[in-house]
């Protein structure tokens, strides 16, 4: 095996493996380095997202949702299930099977596209050389015309709640519980905290989310955020805003958490498990030699320009390790663009139209700008909203919580953003993302024929409502 490549990718998460496959498709000799190993020490692909992130969490979210529906919703359909129980080890085993299947799929794609998988850790040296330390500790130096850094991110730890991987866990440990904790504390009510809290809450945990921010989902459109909070509270999730954790003490199999509430008073809660979900940070430990020529910014991200090029010639960085939202699909798109630029093409990533999704139930999804952002920019805009309660398909399926909100430029009617809390929001928002990519107006969306009965009709009606033309609800006065 030659040690010289056209492209070496470090990391096989959604950013890295996509970059490697696309580079190989374009005729570039490509290798991809991955440090993940299974419990037998064998190298596996997929990075954080596939092994302990997006995929396993969605598997557990699906299992817990099915249990919740069978326990609490089937009777309305005339379906009697009798006494319900949850086999947590079986649920975790299913999750592991899904992960193994997906990881094997990436390995198969590497084979089909002639990507060379290398298992171990990679360190970027000067002059586009990469030091590979394999899983047995053997080292070798590889050379490449281009190196793509896609090392991903890891959970942020906080001194006041040190992870012990038993009572206090991070997002990885929360995927491996062997039983449903009766009392579950979650530090952080962001995307990851809400998803993991939802998993165990549906299965019977009494969940308390302690969020330091005063506003719920501050990065989201606040009308949608408030609606989401109302729905989650109705479901039983105890979300406490403005609460800063100041300490924790493990006593046997439980943990006492001390925090200051919104009024500044000290409070205490005892939990059987505590999940620390206060964010993620770029993973660069051991990645860069001092003379690699690659710089980090003030947040610890690898510094890149708009084209994902670093300060070092021929070295690129993509995904969670660079600026921007830590979203798998954002990293994948950067991977494609970088591979194509290496091959001489000139594509760009449209960072203005990257969907964001929270996979709770109902889902929350957004694309484009929020109303708060548009207002802060001083632009004139119009808003259309439509509730799922007025959608026949949603009422028929008993999944009618939430709404669709569309924001459009008041003068041109061009769609500026879409924000949804409701059934299938992750798929519905993509319809608007496509429309925005082609510069569509709210009128364009409103004139499009949508099938009936579908959840998608809420998108059409919200678009019609922008200009006061909604059919299935009274129209509010058009925003100036």
As beta bridge partners, residue 7 has: 30, 146
Cβ proximity of 142 and 8 under 8 Å: yes
Buried b (16+ CB within 10 A) or exposed e, 36-49: beeeeeebbbbbbb
452 catalytic residue (yes or no): yes
Q: Is the dihedral of CA 194, 195, 197, 201 positive or negative?
A: positive
Closest Cα to residue 243, out of 227, 222, 228, 257?
257
Can you read off the two tokens belonging to residue 89? 């080890």
Q: Report CA-CA distances (Å) from 433 to 259, 349, 365, 441.
A: 40, 14, 11, 12
Question: Nearest 10 degrees: CA dihedral of 282, 130, 126, 315?
Answer: -60
User: Quick one: which H or E segment has residue 211?
Assistant: strand 206-211
With H, G, I as helix, E, B as strand and everything else as coil, classify residue 282.
Answer: strand
| DSSP string computed for 398-456 | T----EEEEEEETTT-BEEEEEEEETTHHHHHHHHHHHHHTT-BHHHHHHS---SS-TT
**At a CB cut-off of 8 Å and minimum separation 6, what does 344 contact?**
none
Among 172, 123, 127, 120, residue whose Cα is nearest residue 146: 127
Q: What's the Cα-to-Cα distance from 230 to each of 192, 216, 351, 421, rounded to whole Å? A: 18, 11, 30, 11
Q: Which one is catalytic: 65, 68, 419, 452? A: 452
| 301 within 8 A of 282, measured Cβ to Cβ | yes
Burial class (CB in 10 A: 0-12, 13-18, 19+), 111: exposed
Label residues 259-268 b or e (16+ Cβ within 10 Å = b): beeeeeeeee
Q: How far apart, in whole angstroms, are the C-alpha atoms of residue 94 and residue 168? A: 24
Question: d(Cα 154, Cα 280) in Å, to the nearest integer?
Answer: 5
Q: Do 186 and 195 touch, CB atoms closer than 8 A? A: no
The residues carrying an active-site annotation are 452
């Amino acid at each position: 095996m030659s040690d010289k490549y056209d492209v070496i990718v470090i990391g096989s998460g959604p950013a890295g493996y996509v970059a490697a496959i696309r580079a190989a498709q374009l005729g570039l000799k490509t290798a991809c380095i991955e440090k993940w190993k299974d419990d037998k020490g064998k190298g596996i692909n997929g990075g954080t997202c596939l092994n302990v992130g997006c995929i396993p969490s969605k598997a557990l979210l699906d299992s817990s949702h099915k249990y919740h529906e069978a326990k609490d919703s089937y009777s309305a359909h005339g379906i009697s299930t009798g006494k319900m129980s949850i086999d947590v080890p079986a649920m975790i085993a299913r999750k592991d099977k899904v992960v193994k299947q997906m990881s094997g799929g990436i390995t198969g794609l590497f084979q089909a596209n002639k990507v060379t998988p290398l298992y171990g850790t990679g360190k970027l040296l000067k002059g586009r050389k990469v030091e590979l330390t394999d899983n047995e500790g053997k080292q070798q130096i590889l050379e490449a015309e281009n190196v793509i850094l896609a090392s991903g991110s890891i959970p942020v730890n906080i001194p006041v709640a040190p992870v012990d991987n038993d009572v206090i866990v991070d997002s990885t440990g929360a995927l491996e519980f062997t039983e449903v904790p009766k009392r579950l504390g979650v530090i952080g009510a962001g995307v990851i905290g809400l998803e993991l809290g939802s998993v165990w809450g549906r299965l019977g945990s009494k969940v308390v989310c302690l969020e330091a921010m005063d506003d719920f989902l501050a990065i989201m459109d606040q009308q949608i955020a408030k609606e989401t909070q109302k729905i989650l509270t109705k479901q039983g999730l105890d979300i406490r805003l403005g609460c800063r954790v100041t300490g924790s003490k493990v006593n046997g199999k439980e943990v006492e958490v001390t925090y200051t509430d919104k009024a500044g008073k000290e409070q205490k809660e005892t939990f059987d498990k505590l999940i620390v979900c206060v964010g993620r940070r770029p993973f660069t430990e051991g990645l860069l030699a001092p003379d690699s020529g690659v710089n980090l910014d003030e947040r610890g991200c690898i510094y890149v320009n708009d084209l994902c090029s670093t300060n070092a010639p021929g070295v690129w960085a993509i995904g969670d390790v660079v600026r921007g939202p830590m979203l798998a699909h954002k990293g994948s798109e950067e991977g494609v663009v970088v591979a194509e630029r290496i091959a001489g093409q000139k594509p760009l990533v449209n960072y203005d139209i990257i969907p964001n999704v929270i996979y709770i139930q109902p889902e929350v999804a957004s694309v484009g700008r929020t109303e708060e952002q548009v207002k802060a920019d001083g632009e004139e805009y119009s808003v259309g909203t439509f509730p799922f309660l007025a959608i026949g398909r949603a009422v028929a399926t008993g999944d009618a919580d939430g709404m669709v909100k569309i924001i459009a430029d008041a003068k041109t009617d061009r769609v500026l953003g879409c924000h949804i809390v409701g059934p299938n929001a992750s798929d519905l928002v993509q319809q608007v993302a496509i429309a925005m990519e082609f510069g569509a107006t709210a009128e364009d969306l409103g004139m499009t024929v949508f099938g009936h009965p579908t959840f998608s009709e809420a998108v059409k009606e919200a678009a019609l409502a922008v200009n006061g033309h909604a059919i299935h609800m009274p129209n509010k006065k058009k925003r100036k």
